[in-house]
Amino acid sequence: MIQEIPTPGDIGLVRVTSPTGALIRVGQWLNGDGFGDYQHAFLVLPEGQLIEAAPQGTRVRPSSGYDDTHVLYVCPPDLTPGQRQAICVAALPYIGVPYSFLDYGAIAAHRFHLPVPGLRRYIASTRHQICSQLVDQCYEDAGVPLFTDGRWPGYVTPMALYDLLAKGREPAGH
């Protein structure tokens, strides 16, 4: 479901126009998500805050940092206030968790069925995360799993979130 006004527990999806965004697009393409428009995801927290995985580690910051950016806010339909609160509470222990660009390669190795020992454990590890893994994990920890297709924990990219929650429902002009 697409949200017009963000509510705690919503997922924000944004485009990244830097060289880093181009690398993420390639990583998503390798993972079967195509060259999609969204390369970053974050979770909306109460009181105008958000939590996001960033190269400096997972951090909380004001949502106003995206005021000049097109953000697509999405969430599963029918989230209750209690679920939204649980998702936000579940996010807080991840503050400071390191970021890992290598997870895109690990996810691609899984997609291509490369026999890499320990790959599943590596992707699911909470010692490092990409932005979409953080969002997916917070929902999972709160008892609100986003994906029910049997995928490994952490096997999610920003475009996988888009495909699940917004594809075909985005307003015209976005």
Residues in contact with 125: Cβ distance below 8 Å, sequence separation at least 6, in sequence order: 154
How, if at all, do strands 11-14 and 2-3 pair? Answer: unpaired
Write out pLDDT tens, residues 1-44.
777 789 999 999 998 665 565 555 555 555 555 555 788 899 99
Output the DSSP codes for 43-81: EEETTTEEEE--TT-SEEEEGGGGTTS-EEEE--TT--H
**Is the per-residue pLDDT at 171 higher than 70?**
no
Amino acid 22: pLDDT:
55
Range scoring the smallest mean pLDDT among 17-26, 89-98, 99-108, 157-166: 17-26
Amino acid 167: pLDDT:
74
pLDDT-based confidence at residue 172 (cuts at 50, 70, 90): very low
Write out pLDDT tens, residues 54-76.
888 999 999 999 998 889 999 99
Amino acid 174: pLDDT:
44
Q: How far is 23 from 157, CA to CA, in rounded Å?
A: 13
Amino acid 116: pLDDT:
73
Domains, in order of start, for the chain:
2-165 (3.90.1720.10)
Write out pLDDT tens, residues 103-126.
666 666 666 667 777 766 766 665
- What residues pair up with 72 in beta bridges, in sequence order? 13
Q: Are the beta carbons of 134 and 52 closer than 8 angstroms?
A: yes
More confident of the two residues 115 and 164: 164
Q: How far is 131 from 58, CA to CA, in rounded Å?
A: 8
40-57: average pLDDT: 94
